[in-house]
Structure 1
Amino acid sequence: MKHHSKLTLFILFNLACTPFLSAQTKFQPQDTEFYEPKSKVVHTTPNKAPSDAIVLFDGTDLKQWVSTKNSNTDAPWTIKDGILTVKPGSGDIQTKQEFEDFQLHIEWKSPDIIKGQGQGRGNSGIFLQGKYELQVLDNDNNPTYVNGQAGSIYKQRQPLVSAVKPAGEWHTYDILYTAPRFNKDNILIKKGTVTVLHNGVVVQYNTQIEGTTEYIGMPQVIPHGAGPLILQDHGDLVSFRNIWIRPL
């Protein structure tokens, strides 16, 4: 009886699978291949912006930037030898263009001679859409609160690891950013997210942004559309170069 039961189950199983197997064998390789629409061709060269990127700073001028204090005023920071440096006390600068989702590449370095400790040590920031700060800071042997170190979403999320370099050496940030979404009633329906590679190392991975960057208090959810990139004047001689962006 046991032998017949096993045989019966085997036959029933095969009968059940036959339609599925028959359906599978009807497919040909070309049935799952498609040729349209074509992907846009992007040309790349080592250490240069991709061909479809918007170059925000290539070492020559600040035509893509204005003063945050007055958008009708040219960006007042200093350019020397192809390097953009904060002019302490002049205020933040921001892009003329506004963006939503994007890929951003930016290189920065803290001053060669560091003065101060903690947040007073090579401090600046990159504000995504003008509201959400990715911290710039000399992390080398510099204890500070972990959600305020380089690579942090300031006062919200510390980096997964601390990608340290000695003071005065160049750092890279490669950023993939998805803007928050609001409905027609200005209600938040999807939080913004960001992935950050610091010196080629993932330090933020699909990190949810809780709201605006606040020095005191909790993040605020403020409805908005596209926004500029802002580079912060925190009073330190932080430098930048090779800044480009690709809207997604």
Structure 2
Amino acid sequence: MGTEYSGTGDPARSLALLWRTAERSARKGKTDLSVDSIVRAAIEVADRDGLGALSMRRVAEELGVGTMSLYTHVPGKGELFDVMQDTVNAETARPDLGDQPWRARLDQVARENHKLYLRHPWLLQVAANRPVLGPNLIAKYDYELRAVDGIGLSAVEMDSVITLVNGFVHGAARTSLDAAQAEQRTGMTDEKWWQAHQPFLARMSDAESYPLAAAVGTAAGEAHNAAVNPDHAFEFGLERILDGIEALISRRTG
């Protein structure tokens, strides 16, 4: 998947759309067409066919309207892309954190982001260094910060912890997506792939030259029935990330 970047449209127009400060009037006879309906259609196209299929013409076809009618509401693809990202960020569940321990709070944040990526795999193509400054992303960020509020971290450390967790989730979701796509495109599950290759790997592995690779690789492969188990990698990695944050908190409060 290629990388896409936010902010390729006009900044003023994107922000106006994100915050709905200047939504244009619908054309006569197209009263059911709006920014929201266009964005929903664009998300459906990206979910189903990927970002490579996204264009103003493709979205218009999805809605059954002429391409030019979209421009009454959305200036162009760049601005539409920004609003798409912000819109899906509203989907994460945000239950009252109450008196939950911070680990449980961060665990919930991580799992919601993981689900979001799996629902909308095209998000994995979006570079994270220039976030869309829309209301839904800001609300999501504010909620996630509350998971680590009041536990002894500085403001910069709070931001860094959320960045660390979400960065890990991004990589874990990519691994899950790669595994799912490999099965779809080859017609072979990871388990069947491992069963087909394991006998040859066992014969070809040079235990004398590479004793650790042979021993550990065999043990992991037999445990997962695959070269990699995305679910195990996510669970193991998330726990280790939280352990590291716990160590940081202990240093700050100890």
Higher helix fraction (1 or 2): 2
TM-score when normalising by structure 2: 0.23
* Larger Rg over CA atoms: 1
TM-score when normalising by structure 1: 0.24
